Amino acid sequence: DVLAAPQQGKADSALRTLTGISIAHWVSHFHLLVLPMLFPFLKDRLGVGYVELGFALTTLAVVSGLTQAPTGYLVDHFGARRILLVGLTLGGLALILLGLHLSYASLIACAVLLGLANSVYHPADYAILAEHMDEARMGRAFSIHTFAGYLGGAVFAHVQRGEQGKMWVPVIFGVVLWLGLLLREPRLRALLPLRR
């Protein structure tokens, strides 16, 4: 029992870390889809076409792609947790600023800020997971992290269509899928140690 207590504490800490990082990845995929949802409103309000709106998404993607490697450098030098918190804050702030000052220039600025925010998630998330997860469970932890991101996109699809009541369908499906795998696969049960 004395030896089992530190192991259980370490497993609980790893599970909390995996949960927190997966939620952050969920938020990142959710944020990426906010701008496209606003396109019909922005088209009328800003008096621009879909080409100009598509340029905003292109800006987001290019900024995100070009800044991921430098962000990895920042993660190594300032710490993954700090950089991840900056990214989460920056993503929310970008959308708030767009709501406060609506213009095409602010849309492009929002896209740049969202691209910078999005560049944070993978370098910071993987660094945190690599530090806190047991090496034998690293692949599973990365797959849960990836699944959480895709789940954010799936939930957003229901929000976009105005089906908030049905948005729990993909969440429930994902939970049921993981519980089914948990019951069948002993190696997966080892990732989520259950107290006996």
Q: Which is it for the CA torsion 67, 23, 141, 172, positive or negative?
A: negative
Tell me whether residue 186 is exposed, middle or buried, using C-beta atoms within 10 angstroms of its C-beta: 0 to 12, 13 to 18, 19 or more.
Answer: exposed
Identify the pLDDT of residue 131. Answer: 87
- Which of 62, 52, 58 is closest to 104 using CA atoms? 52
Scan for tokens 């989460």, then name that residue.
88
Identify the pLDDT of residue 172. Answer: 64
CA dihedral 147→148→150→153, nearest 10 degrees, is 160
Identify the pLDDT of residue 130. Answer: 87
| The amino acid at 73 | Y
Q: How far apart are CA 143 and CA 147, in angstroms?
A: 6
Identify the pLDDT of residue 3. Answer: 44
Identify the pLDDT of residue 126. Answer: 87
Identify the pLDDT of residue 119. Answer: 93
- Which of 120, 127, 28 is closest to 71 using CA atoms? 120
Identify the pLDDT of residue 107. Answer: 92
Q: How far apart are CA 122 and CA 58, in angstroms?
A: 19
Counting Cα atoms < 13 Å in the Cβ hemisphere of 120 gives: 26
pLDDT averaged per 10 residues, the chain (length 196): 50 77 82 81 90 93 94 93 90 88 92 92 88 83 85 74 58 64 62 53
Return all residues near 122 (Cβ < 8 A) that are at least 6 apart.
68
Contact 132, 13 (CB under 8 A): yes
Element (H, E) at 55: helix 50-78
What secondary structure letter does DSSP report for 135?
G
Contact 191, 4 (CB under 8 A): no
